[in-house]
Amino acid sequence: MKFGYFDDKAKEYVITTPHTPLPWINYLGSNDFFSLISNTCGGYSFYKDAKLLRITRYRYNNIPADSNGKYYYINDDGVIWNPGTMPSATETDTYECRHGLGYSRFCSSKNNLKAELLVFVPSDASCEINCLKLKNNSETEKNISLFSYVEFCLWNAVDDASNFQRNLSIGEVEVQGSTIYHKTEYRERRKHYSFFTVNTQVDNYDTNRDAFLGAGNGNAFPEAVCKKKCSNSIASGWYPIAAHQIDLTLLPGEEKEFVFMLGYCENPADDKWEAPGIINKTSAKALIERFNTMEKAMQAFAELKNYWETLLARFAVVSENEHIDRMANIWNQYQCMVTFNMSRSASYYESGTGRGMGFRDSCQDLLGFVHLIPERARERIIDIASTQFPDGSAYHQYQPLTKQGNLDVGSGFNDDPLWLIAAVAAYIKETGDYGILDVQVPFDCKKGTEVPLFEHLEKSFYYTVTHLGPHKLPLIGRADWNDCLNLNCFSSEPGESFQTTGPSEGPVAESVFIAGMFVKYGKEFEELCERTGHTELAKEAGKAVDEMYQAVLDNGWDGEWFLRAYDAQSEKVGSKECEEGKIFIEPQGFCVMAGIGKEEGIAEKALDSVNELLETKYGIMILQPAYTRYHLELGEITSYPPGYKENAGIFCHNNPWISIAETVLGRGNRAFEVYRKICPSYIEEISDIHRTEPYVYSQMIAGADAPGFGEAKNSWLTGTAAWTFVNLSQALLGILPGYDGLIVDPCLPETFGDFKVNRHFRGADYHIEIHKPKGVQKGVRWIEVDGERINGNQIPMVNGRNEYHVIVQMG
């Protein structure tokens, strides 16, 4: 069952009912100012950092679940309703929500009054614009009162939700004309403030929440809205809000439009104190001036659309498969931008106060983003590497505003360092910018510790080399990619063991997954060494990689599949000898992606085992059989009920690893099958079962052991986006950046026919036409570039040429 449809032409998902199984959200903003908005107008805004600079308030665990946002109320002759239906939940006569790229549109009507709301964050300004149009489609005049409503957050979202003894006395506002300034903290730092304004004179306003809602009332039917009268309240402490009241008359057929704006401003550091408590409005006024008419707002909207058109055009496929085209050209790339910006910080499942930017997460997110805005990827790499320690280990997370490593979480996840190599290699392949390796980057953000980025990679590489266990496999530390596999936490108290604050490296627990990673990214490091003239280092690295390869064959192979790990007692994890958790997905994906076992003929076996033992109709589960009881020696993974999350859920993130691994073996039919099963567009039809947004990936789909088999959770912020884009664009459609040019090497099902790809790469546009006879899965017979046959399948770059016409014959 569906709750909407894809409008590919408009690049929108159209939601046709407010009663979606869960809130279906969108992200607005692509640089510093961000908003989350649901299909019923719930959500919130922040500047750069959802924890430290939260502009509007949101309540997770709320009842109803999604009932705080930026709302507009209409009182039309006593009937009170909202364009997105919430928070009054008044049923409208018509309803439509269109989530587009960086904007959402709502169109609804009630009693012949039509409301159209367009919400977006301009591509280059720190504000959110809300264009609201009201049209009287009835035969009689309407006298309406329109109210806006936002609830301010007192900036630090953690304090805001906890430190009430202070909060209830610090809120301050200031009103000038139609602009309501939120200036809490201004007294203290005079640094930042926000405001909510509208481009018309208002009849009344409120800034004190209780005055607007009525004491003891929720926000569904505010007292001021019911009485059609705000009281011009000025908040002093308690709960500052901004609400405007606009009374208007609409003749039959008449339409009126308003531009509301929520803005964020920072004062210059040398700002002079005008008068105690009075805001310096210079920057706000400039911002308001930029967008205070419908024409200006629509111009900014056109620019936003153009911004996205240009970005997405960097990779565009035309095939006979609408799911592929839609996902590759629109939604998958869009989700890559969102995960790049948000890491795992702010969604409807991540509170914005917890994780900040993940070291491993952001490195992986970058793999799906680097082709879009390489300059931002470069900056991100430097930020991430700056949180590394001199021994190569790294803070697991850092805060986006301060860019400082998060001390509460600390370090000790032994896969982290290697992801940096993955990110840097991808960046250089995309851009050819070896110069990044010379950038001076500090350790632990400390001045005076700077070394060239290249040395950070060296530290990453040797961190693994110097942390091997008894089987010559990498020590796992607190965990590897699988945060919940806590093999060294046996010494914690029961119930505490899932807190990942255990020893940074346990006695001996080892990870076959990190071994696979080391072979894959160790080879990348070796190649980078060679290409940058570090010949000796390259040799040494090559040797370490070979040894690891051998260690995996010797100690990491279980007979039918790769082992997952050895625990702290050197007992096998993910082996046929285990009672539960016999096989895990991660090492099968990564070892085969690294090419381990291909020559030895065991790689196929590993992937066949995945197919046989982990596959379900909704995707591939992370492990089987699920753990039915808690194991102190395995940690958090066994704290989840069977079928959920890391305990045998369909963890989407590593499904593309299997698909890519299948392409390494040339099995396009199977690679595509794995791709298809969790592809949002393919499973839109079962939105009632899947429940999360049908246009993006979720972190997890409940596995076969769970009562809710097939139900997804934790949408949007998942490495699935980046890995799937890598899979789709590079492994399946086979257009991959190499150090010396674009490489063409598709691997697709036999039934898949010809297709075309436009790819922007290093300043040039590549128009690639691929002829793929049915029956073929992989293999390029010849390539013609601008009429000339080339050797091999890497397109040589010609200085000064900015357009390439490429014909590829598979077979």
C-beta contacts of 63-68 below 8 A and 24+ residues apart: 64/89, 65/23, 66/23, 66/38, 66/40, 66/42, 66/348, 67/42, 67/218, 67/219, 67/220, 68/42, 68/44, 68/151, 68/219
Kindly state the DSSP code that residue 329 receives in the 8-state scheme. Answer: I
Measure the CA–CA gap between 610 and 227, rounded to whole angstroms.
Answer: 63
Give the 3-state secondary structure of residue 526: helix
**Site size for ligand IFM, by CB under 6 A?**
9
Confirm or reject binding of residue 662 to ligand BGC (CB under 6 A).
no
Confirm or reject binding of residue 653 to ligand BGC (CB under 6 A).
no
Q: Which helix (H) or strand (E) holds 754?
A: none
Confirm or reject binding of residue 646 to ligand BGC (CB under 6 A).
yes
Q: Between residues 195 and 481, which has the closer beta carbon with respect to ligand BGC?
A: 481
Q: Between residues 72 and 481, which has the closer beta carbon with respect to ligand IFM?
A: 481
Give which of ligand IFM, ligand BGC, none residue 341 binds (C-beta under 5 to 8 Å, depending on kind).
none
Residues 494-513 that bind ligand BGC (CB under 6 A): 500
Q: Between residues 415 and 646, which has the closer beta carbon with respect to ligand BGC?
A: 646
Give which of ligand BGC, ligand IFM, none residue 526 binds (C-beta under 5 to 8 Å, depending on kind).
none
Measure the CA–CA gap between 199 and 294, rounded to whole angstroms.
Answer: 9
Q: Between residues 413 and 561, which has the closer beta carbon with respect to ligand BGC?
A: 413
74 phi and psi angles, rounded to 5 deg: -120, 125
Selected catalytic residue, list 66, 483, 705, 745:
483
Measure the CA–CA gap between 6 and 10, rounded to whole angstroms.
Answer: 9
CB of 418 to ligand IFM, least distance (A): 13
Does the active-site annotation cover 483? yes
Confirm or reject binding of residue 793 to ligand BGC (CB under 6 A).
no
Residues 33-72 that bind ligand IFM (CB under 6 A): none
The tokens 């939940």 sit on which residue?
89
Give which of ligand IFM, ligand BGC, none residue 581 binds (C-beta under 5 to 8 Å, depending on kind).
none
Q: Assess contact for 519 and 594: CB atoms under 8 A.
A: yes
CB of 504 to ligand IFM, least distance (A): 17
CB of 358 to ligand BGC, least distance (A): 8
CB burial readout 541-567, b (16+ within 10 A) else e: bbebbebbbebbeebbbbebbbbbbbb
Q: H helices within 358-498, ranges in order?
A: 359-367, 374-385, 416-431, 453-465
Angular region, 512: left φ>0, alpha ψ -120 to 50, beta rest? alpha
Measure the CA–CA gap between 411 and 433, rounded to whole angstroms.
Answer: 29
Nearest Cα to 724, choosing from 781, 795, 653, 791? 653
Q: What's the per-residue H, E or C state across 595-621?
A: CCCCCCCCHHHHHHHHHHHCEECCEEC
Q: Between residues 262 and 484, which has the closer beta carbon with respect to ligand BGC?
A: 484
Residue facing ligand IFM at closest CB distance: 483
Environment class of 763 (CB within 10 Å of its CB; exposed 0-12, middle 13-18, buried 19+):
exposed
254 phi and psi angles, rounded to 5 deg: -80, 150
**Site size for ligand BGC, by CB under 6 A?**
6
Q: Between residues 360 and 778, which has the closer beta carbon with respect to ligand IFM?
A: 360
Confirm or reject binding of residue 110 to ligand BGC (CB under 6 A).
no
Confirm or reject binding of residue 476 to ligand BGC (CB under 6 A).
no
Q: Between residues 585 and 806, which has the closer beta carbon with respect to ligand BGC?
A: 585
Stretch that binds ligand IFM, among 63-71, 181-189, 478-486, 782-790 (CB under 6 A): 478-486
Confirm or reject binding of residue 640 to ligand IFM (CB under 6 A).
no
Task: Indicate which single residue of 380, 645, 677, 691 sits in contact with ligand BGC (rule: CB under 6 A).
Answer: 645
CB of 360 to ligand BGC, least distance (A): 10
Task: Indicate which single residue of 484, 512, 541, 583 sits in contact with ligand BGC (rule: CB under 6 A).
Answer: 484
Q: Between residues 360 and 690, which has the closer beta carbon with respect to ligand IFM?
A: 360
Q: H helices within 655-697, ranges in order?
A: 655-664, 668-678, 687-690
For 364, the token pair is: 């992986």
Measure the CA–CA gap between 488 and 636, rounded to whole angstroms.
Answer: 11
Task: Indicate which single residue of 76, 350, 365, 483 sits in contact with ligand BGC (rule: CB under 6 A).
Answer: 483
For 316, the token pair is: 């565009």
Q: Between residues 473 and 484, which has the closer beta carbon with respect to ligand IFM?
A: 484
Confirm or reject binding of residue 350 to ligand IFM (CB under 6 A).
no
Helix 359-367 to helix 374-385 angle (10° resolution) is 160
Stretch that binds ligand IFM, among 260-268, 476-484, 555-563, 767-775 (CB under 6 A): 476-484
Confirm or reject binding of residue 178 to ligand BGC (CB under 6 A).
no
Confirm or reject binding of residue 150 to ligand BGC (CB under 6 A).
no
Stretch that binds ligand IFM, among 353-361, 429-437, 530-538, 723-731 (CB under 6 A): 353-361
CB of 66 to ligand IFM, least distance (A): 23
Give which of ligand IFM, ligand BGC, none residue 500 binds (C-beta under 5 to 8 Å, depending on kind).
ligand BGC
Q: Between residues 481 and 490, which has the closer beta carbon with respect to ligand BGC?
A: 481
For 111, the token pair is: 């009693």
Task: Indicate which single residue of 361, 430, 510, 636 sits in contact with ligand IFM (rule: CB under 6 A).
Answer: 361
> In sequence order, what DSSP letters do the residues of 553-600 get, joined into one string?
HHHSB-SSSB--EE-TTS-EESSTTSSS--EEHHHHHHHHHTTTTTTT
Environment class of 788 (CB within 10 Å of its CB; exposed 0-12, middle 13-18, buried 19+):
exposed
Sheet with 712-715: list strands edge to edge: 650-651, 698-701, 712-715
Active-site positions read 483
Contacts to ligand BGC by CB under 6 A: 483-484, 500, 636, 645-646
Contacts to ligand IFM by CB under 6 A: 344, 358, 360-361, 481-484, 646
